[in-house]
């Protein structure tokens, strides 16, 4: 589901999301049993940590249910699988209502809601532009598209060109060549589905991560809230900027420092501004969002990053979103801003800032 040409970068980067938990486990003796499961999905990896699973838990069966849930999400939402629900919808040159699964309709509805609330900063019809810039399955060149190519792709985008119905679940294009890309929100949805599988197995203390998007509930093996690192936004190496406790929350980070290409000294990020058709060009390096579920955190992290260092924080404050913004200055200095909602959710960990 993620761009193939950047998968290697992302696979090397995944460990950062759980860095703090892993370091802490080396520094102190766990008080409870910890079960860790890992695997591959959506062009990246997943990690599941479970504390004190109920006696008699069938671990092999649990892994099968996790893998099956993620396989289903891919079959519903991947643009890399020609026979997925979403790929078939994209390929159909029709403006009729197309029946889809409740999961696909729910995810599109959530994306459209965030898109509307953000003034179009999250636009899941931006797929033609993602492909054009080389961040999707259709093209992999590291070059700058011609203006006429960008204009043609823009003509196929817009939230008004995609409609969703929840009962019965269906999608409809108002223009036959609309192409939907859910990579900005589907990993978060996958995290939530895995968390639901674990909850159904009677597991209360858990941490789920897919490609850096997370959901944590309960306590870790040391009887503390799950502690997750927010990275310094740098393309080489890994350094922790701040540690965030997760208490029944989803968490997602969107940034310009892992998925990009450079040409003639200019960095082109995978985050496309739907209003211009170009990768974002501002000093906001990354955004971390906390929400009730990982899907919402995933979508909002993308939207706020696209909005930039002024409009992003302003909208987050107005909507009472829990967000952390890292702005990069020309002298390599980092400036960190948080919303009041973010501070409230993390205030129990006053010493978890590592510094900038």
What CATH code is carried by the domain that includes residue 169? 1.10.3980.10
Indicate the DSSP class of residue 311: H
Tell me which of 10-24, 68-82, 125-139, 144-158 is least confident: 10-24
CB-neighbour burial class of residue 9 (10 A; exposed 0-12, middle 13-18, buried 19+)? middle
Q: Is residue 146 part of a domain?
A: yes
Q: Are the beta carbons of 151 and 129 closer than 8 angstroms?
A: no
High-pLDDT (> 90) share of the chain, %: 65
Q: Is residue 12 part of a domain?
A: no
Q: Is residue 100 part of a domain?
A: yes
Q: Is residue 132 part of a domain?
A: yes
Q: Which residues contact 85 (CB under 8 A, 6 or more apart)?
A: 75, 76, 77, 100, 101, 104
Alpha-carbon dihedral 32, 37, 38, 40, rounded to 10 degrees: -150
Return left, alpha or beta for 179; rule: phi > 0 is left, psi -120 to 50 is alpha, else beta. Answer: beta
Q: Is residue 205 part of a domain?
A: no
Q: What is the pLDDT of residue 29?
A: 57
pLDDT in tens, 265-305: 556 566 788 988 888 887 888 899 999 999 999 999 999 99
Task: Name the average pLDDT for the chain.
Answer: 85
Q: What is the pLDDT of residue 101?
A: 98
Please report which helix (H) or strand (E) contains residue 27, including its range.
Answer: helix 19-27
Q: How many CB atoms lie within 10 A of CB 310?
A: 12
Containing structural domain, residue 169: 93-173
CA distance 4 to 135: 8
DSSP code per residue over 115-155: HHHTTTSS-TT-HHHHHHTT-BTTB---SPPPHHHHHHHHT
Q: Is residue 156 part of a domain?
A: yes
Please report which helix (H) or strand (E) contains residue 21, including its range.
Answer: helix 19-27
Between 143 and 4, the more confident residue is 143
Name the pLDDT band for 4 (thresholds 50, 70, 90).
very low
pLDDT in tens, 149-177: 999 999 999 999 999 999 999 999 999 99
**Is the pLDDT at 19 greater than 60, yes or no?**
no
Q: Is residue 349 part of a domain?
A: no
The structural domain count of the chain equals: 1
**Is the pLDDT at 236 greater than 70, yes or no?**
no
**Is the pLDDT at 237 greater than 90, yes or no?**
no
**Is the pLDDT at 2 greater than 70, yes or no?**
no
Angle at 118 between CA 161 and CA 235, to 5 degrees: 105
Alpha-carbon dihedral 239, 243, 246, 247, rounded to 10 degrees: 170
Q: Is residue 338 part of a domain?
A: no
Helices 59-77 and 186-200: angle between axes, nearest 10 degrees: 150
């Amino acid at each position: 589901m993620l761009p193939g040409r950047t998968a290697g970068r992302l696979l090397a980067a995944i460990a950062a999301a759980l860095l703090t938990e892993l370091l802490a486990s080396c520094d102190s003796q766990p008080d409870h049993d910890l079960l860790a499961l890992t695997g591959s999905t959506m062009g990246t990896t997943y990690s599941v940590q479970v504390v004190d699973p109920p006696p008699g838990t069938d671990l092999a069966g649990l892994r099968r249910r996790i893998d099956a849930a993620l396989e289903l999400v891919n079959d519903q939402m991947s643009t890399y699988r020609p026979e997925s629900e979403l790929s078939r919808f994209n390929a159909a040159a029709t403006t009729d209502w197309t029946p889809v699964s409740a999961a696909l309709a729910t995810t599109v509805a959530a994306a459209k809601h965030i898109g509307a609330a953000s003034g179009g900063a999250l636009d899941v019809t931006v797929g033609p532009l993602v492909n054009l810039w080389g961040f999707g399955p259709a093209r992999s060149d590291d070059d700058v598209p011609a203006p006429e190519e960008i204009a043609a792709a823009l003509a196929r985008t817009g939230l008004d060109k995609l409609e969703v119905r929840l009962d019965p679940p269906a999608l409809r294009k108002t223009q036959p060549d609309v192409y939907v890309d859910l990579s900005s929100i589907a990993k978060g949805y996958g995290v939530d589905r895995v968390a639901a599988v674990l909850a159904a197995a009677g597991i209360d203390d858990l941490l789920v991560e897919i490609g850096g998007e997370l959901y944590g509930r309960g306590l870790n093996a040391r009887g503390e809230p799950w502690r997750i690192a927010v990275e310094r936004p740098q393309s080489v190496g890994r350094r922790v900027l701040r540690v965030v406790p997760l208490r029944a929350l989803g968490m997602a980070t969107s940034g310009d420092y892992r998925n990009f290409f450079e040409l003639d000294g200019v960095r082109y990020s995978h985050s496309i501004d739907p209003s211009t058709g170009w990768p974002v060009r501002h000093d906001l390096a990354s955004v971390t969002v906390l929400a009730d579920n990982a899907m919402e955190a995933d979508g909002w992290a993308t939207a706020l990053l696209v909005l930039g260092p002024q409009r992003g924080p302003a909208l987050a404050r107005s909507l009472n979103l829990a967000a952390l913004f890292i702005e990069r200055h020309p002298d390599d200095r980092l400036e960190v801003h948080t919303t009041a909602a973010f501070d409230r959710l993390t205030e129990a960990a006053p010493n978890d800032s590592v510094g900038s």
